[in-house]
Structure 1
Amino acid sequence: MLSFPVPAFFSSYWNNSFHLKHHLQTFLNLDPDLLQANILAGQQKMSDLGQNNFQWETVTEFYNNQVGNNYLFDLASFHLGSQDYIQDTLCLIADQADGKVLDFGGGLGTHAIAAAFCPKVTQVIYCDINPIHCEFVKYRAKKLGLEDKIICSLQFPTTENFDTILCFDVLEHLPDPIQQLLDFYHVLSSNGKLIVNWYFSQGLNNEFPFHIEDPQVVEKFFRTIQRYYLEVFHPYLITARCYRKLLEPTV
């Protein structure tokens, strides 16, 4: 497997995911054993919660008020168990991100923090509808000395323009991912980059009941992204893809 050089400004990531575990422990005031138990059970608890409570008609309510801390543990389980994979995603961010960055649906804040460490980035707007996530990322930013560079928002900033948009593992959670692509297009600067991935599947055993997988929606999504964006090659073996904005969308 290819091994890519690690940017020096990410040096604090590789051993501890920007101190993720310590931040979770102190933010939630949990002892280490209880924190570890919650992280190990995170994905299963989110799957159970989704199967019992999730409906597309109340998707905002689900992520705002029902998931609680469970989604923090689920995401932490993935981030701590997939550090090599996320390392390459952060390298892609380091290669492409500059100027004003939007991290849409930013979860634990790993990608927002990475962007904030990039010397070509001037500001990061972290956006997530889950208020617990927002408070956690504010906490992390302060702990890392990034509180002046990362701004947290519960709402998509439709009146601002961005040079880079990050959106990881989010589009499949939206009832209308096509409209979100169009919203990104309208706030992206003329030379801007969209770095994004998706997983339009509910899994082999319905472990992701909160993912959209309607074939008609998925087909329209791919037709839309091909019309409004042009893919930019990158060498990393990850699901994230990089696009630049087409100033004249194709017919």
Structure 2
Amino acid sequence: MLTVDFRHFPLTPGDKLLDLGCGEGRHAINAYIAGEVDVFGVDLSLKDLATTRERQQPFAVNDGKRSFHLQCANALQLPFADHSFDKIICSEVLEHLPDYQGALKEIQRVLKPGGTLAISVPRAWPEKICWHFSSEYHQVEGGHVRIFNAGSLDKEIQQQGFSRYKKHWAHALHSPYWWLKCMLWDTQEQSRLIRLYHKLLVWDLMQKPWITQTLEKLLNPIMGKSVVFYYHAGRKP
């Protein structure tokens, strides 16, 4: 399930791309498959990095036109030189970081002038419903530490010299699923309703039927769980 839409974040052969907080590799692996690019995935979780490596292996090729690298590192102290990357993805990460401003500064440091950045965070009002129904949802280890106001975050990023060229919402069908999980947090493993909804989401992901794809497209502006921003760094290329 991709949050960043590569139609708005096109890859160019030879690009060096950083997926900051890559998790289990959904964006990093898709970028590796889609383009002749050098992909670097960074995360604090060794377990997630191991899962990413395992999932990437079936797609690994030795054509000399792309590469795939994984590293355990802190978003506040990235082990890369200034202006190392043409593109950076930071999807569903900033809401986990007490010092998200520090991560934004590191992004600014390692991204090339004229490079592109994609950032996504949970949308405020669907997230507030989750927090209302379950404190465990955001108090678990590695959970969300804040709810972003999208407009304020966008303004803050642009004040650092980034120019936004696209914004959209994503994953509307996932909002009710997480509301149900939060409402039934203590019994969610036994909930038949949640299991059925999860099957629906998997079916949508694997089969991409027109009915759910169209429904989500229509609902995203209203109740999309994530908001996604796209920026040029420093100047528009």
Is the shorter-chain TM-score for this pair beyond 0.5, marking a shared fold?
Answer: yes
Q: Is the 8 A contact 1:97 1:193 kept in 2?
A: no
Superposition RMSD in Å: 2.9
Q: 1:197 to 1:146 in 2, by over 3 A?
A: farther
Give the one of 39, 42, 51 matched to 1:127: 42
Question: Paired residue for 2:56?
Answer: 141
Question: Paired residue for 2:81?
Answer: 159
Question: Which of structures 1 and 2 has the larger relative contact order (alpha carbons within 8 angstroms, sep 6+)?
Answer: 2
Give the one of 96, 103, 120 matched to 1:173: 96
- Whose strand proportion is higher, 1 or 2? 2
In the superposition, the TM-score normalised over structure 1's length comes to 0.55
The whole-number CA distance in structure 1 between the counterparts of 2:166 and 2:147 is: 28
Q: How many residues align?
A: 159
The whole-number CA distance in structure 2 between the counterparts of 1:141 and 1:171 is: 25
The whole-number CA distance in structure 2 between the counterparts of 1:194 and 1:168 is: 10
Q: CA deviation at 1:193?
A: 0.6
Question: Paired residue for 2:31?
Answer: 115
The whole-number CA distance in structure 1 between the counterparts of 2:59 and 2:69 is: 14
1:192 pairs with 2:137: no
Q: 1:227 to 1:146 in 2, by over 3 A?
A: farther
Return the letter of the residue paired with 2:159: R
Partner SS state of residue 96, structure 1 = coil
Partner SS state of residue 98, structure 2 = coil
Return the letter of the residue paired with 1:100: K
1:240 pairs with 2:156: no
Q: 1:175 to 1:224 in 2, by over 3 A?
A: same
Question: Paired residue for 1:208?
Answer: 138
- The runs of 5 or more residues in structure 1 that have no matched partner are 1-82
Question: Paired residue for 1:89?
Answer: 4
Taking only the aligned residue pairs, the percentage that are identical comes to 22
Partner SS state of residue 197, structure 1 = strand
Return the letter of the residue paired with 1:108: E
Q: Is the 8 A contact 1:162 1:187 kept in 2?
A: yes
Q: Is the 8 A contact 1:90 1:111 kept in 2?
A: no
Question: Paired residue for 1:100?
Answer: 16
Q: 1:90 to 1:146 in 2, by over 3 A?
A: farther
The whole-number CA distance in structure 1 between the counterparts of 2:23 and 2:17 is: 15
- The runs of 5 or more residues in structure 2 that have no matched partner are 171-226
Question: Paired residue for 1:5?
Answer: none
Q: Is the 8 A contact 1:178 1:224 kept in 2?
A: no
* Equivalence map 1:212-227=2 (5 Å): 212-213=145-146, 221-227=153-159
Q: Is the 8 A contact 1:193 1:245 kept in 2?
A: yes
In the superposition, the TM-score normalised over structure 2's length comes to 0.58
The whole-number CA distance in structure 1 between the counterparts of 2:147 and 2:59 is: 40
Q: 1:180 to 1:240 in 2, by over 3 A?
A: same
Q: 1:231 to 1:109 in 2, by over 3 A?
A: same
